[in-house]
Amino acid sequence: MDTVEDKDKIYLFVYGSLKRGKEYNYLLSGAKFISEAVTLEKYSMYVDSIPYVYKDKNISHICGELYEIDNKILKEIDLFEDHPNFYFRELVDVKTTTGMVVKSWIYFLHEEKGELLTSGSF
């Protein structure tokens, strides 16, 4: 499975309030929706009114959406997610519905918080 890593493109994987139809999706109004997607690695998802993904506990693949964004949007989302204080972001591999694997930014929480969602979907 080849991973797409285009140095000129920035990809963002979202799994909560930034998804289509959710209250903060407007922050991605200038972004290009690529596909629904899932992380290749397993992480753990928790919910406490909003979802959080914790990196160091491998429970399930995380379900979300993949967007192509620019640096301006990335900086705005960093502010929204309070990166690196509240959330921190890292590049991970995500797989689209067409089977394409893309290196994408995802936001992780520094700790386990809330109720575990073993499905990995919010």
Concerning whether 115 is annotated as a catalytic residue, the answer is no
The two structure tokens encoding residue 118: 């073993």
Question: Which of 81, 90, 111, 112 does the annotation list as catalytic?
Answer: 81
φ, ψ at 46 (rounded to 5°): -125, 155
What 3-state class would DSSP assign to 121? coil
Burial of 81 (0-12, 13-18, 19+ CB in 10 A): buried
Catalytic residue numbers read: 81
